[in-house]
Amino acid sequence: MKPLDTDKTYLITGGAGFIGFSLSRELLKKGARVIGLDNMNDYYEVSLKEDRLAILKEYEGYTFEKGDIADKEAVHRIFEAYHPDIVVNLAAQAGVRYSITNPDAYIQSNLVGFFEILEACRYFGVEHLVFASSSSVYGGNKKVPFSTEDKVDQPVSLYAATKKSNELMAYAYSKLYGIPLTGLRFFTVYGPMGRPDMAYFKFAKKIMAGEPIQIYNHGDMKRDFTYIDDIVTGVENILCNPPAQDENGAAYKIYNIGNHKPEKLMDYISVLEKCLGKEAKKEFLPMQPGDVYETYADVSELMKDFDFKPSTTIEEGLSRFAEWFLQYYA
């Protein structure tokens, strides 16, 4: 496994997002040159994205470009200006429930946008494209833990369908144009400066406001919660290590990236309450469309290839989140 090469230029789309910001900061700390690209949309509070960017802009090696990955001219202009060696495509319209009511946003960002990134990587000859897929591709699979060998052609949300489509598009581009590609199926990433649309963040806001939190499937759910620092370490190790060609000549690989330890939702809420120092009022509701009962990552491939060892407990992770949250929203 090659270490991070700080002489290379890294383009990170979704650069003002949670994972994009966290990865960028780690690369910048090590002296790498990072180009961030983000359209700064208002899917959740833009002020948090701006605060993340303010931290990144303190580093000499950081450049931010506002633009949309679905805008071909903007994408090609950025590739031409900076000639990134390695691209990390994290820009996407996220969220399962939002995809039910706002499908257009997912087609534009997750399909058209990803296509434009693939095209730019094709024309500008990048060394490695790492892209975000999602644990949502596993849909209602009953077999756990979820393995990358599992069949994933029965998505239960449009969001999941777009992420599976990204994997298929990526394979075709690797096979046709020789682009080394690695896809990462992320499992419920959480931590400080995280996404306000995620359940743990919504819970924290409502708990502190004294409002009831909505708990689906009457609390009978499990999630493979993965702390942001563990995620960033895993992604960083992959960047300078593109996959070898398979038997079809495609330099392509998919990995699960998760904690490999599903937690009961009610246990997670209990720890969050303790970290915030306040008990939640609870409203129990049935399962929502697009939701799944359990997520559980088989990360044996990532462990084998990149020595991936997620080590942050939910007690540690939620304690750090709560400390940040209480200060940020004081």
What local confidence, expressed as pLDDT, does residue 289 receive? Answer: 84
Residue 159 bears catalytic tag: yes
Task: Decide: 217 and 211 in contact? Cβ < 8 Å.
Answer: no
What local confidence, expressed as pLDDT, does residue 206 receive? Answer: 97
Task: With a cut of 50, list the residues of the chain below it in pLDDT.
Answer: none
Q: What is the C-alpha to C-alpha distance for residues 131 and 45, in angstroms, rounded to an integer? A: 24
What local confidence, expressed as pLDDT, does residue 102 receive? Answer: 85
- Between the alpha carbon of residue 63 and those of residues 33, 66, 235, the distances in Å are 8, 10, 20
What local confidence, expressed as pLDDT, does residue 247 receive? Answer: 95
Task: Decide: 24 and 54 in contact? Cβ < 8 Å.
Answer: no
What local confidence, expressed as pLDDT, does residue 101 receive? Answer: 83
**Which among 98, 159, 173, 252 is annotated as catalytic?**
159
Cα first-last separation, the chain: 43
**DSSP output for 126-154:** -SEEEEEEEGGGGTT--SSSB-TTS----
Helical axes 46-56 vs 18-29, angle rounded to 10°: 10
* Angle, CA of 32, 232 and 152, to the nearest 5°: 125
Element at 315 (helix H, strand E): helix 314-328
- At 86-133, the pLDDT tens digits run 999 999 988 777 788 888 989 999 999 999 999 999 999 999 999 999
CB burial readout 137-174, b (16+ within 10 A) else e: bbbebeebbbbbeeebeebbbbbbbbbbbbbebbbebb
**DSSP output for 271-305:** HHHHHHTSPPPEEE-PPPTT--SB--B--HHHHHH
Complete domains list, the chain, with CATH: 9-189+226-260+293-310 (3.40.50.720)
Sorted by sequence, the CB contacts under 8 Å of residue 288 that are 6+ apart come out as 97, 216
What local confidence, expressed as pLDDT, does residue 259 receive? Answer: 95
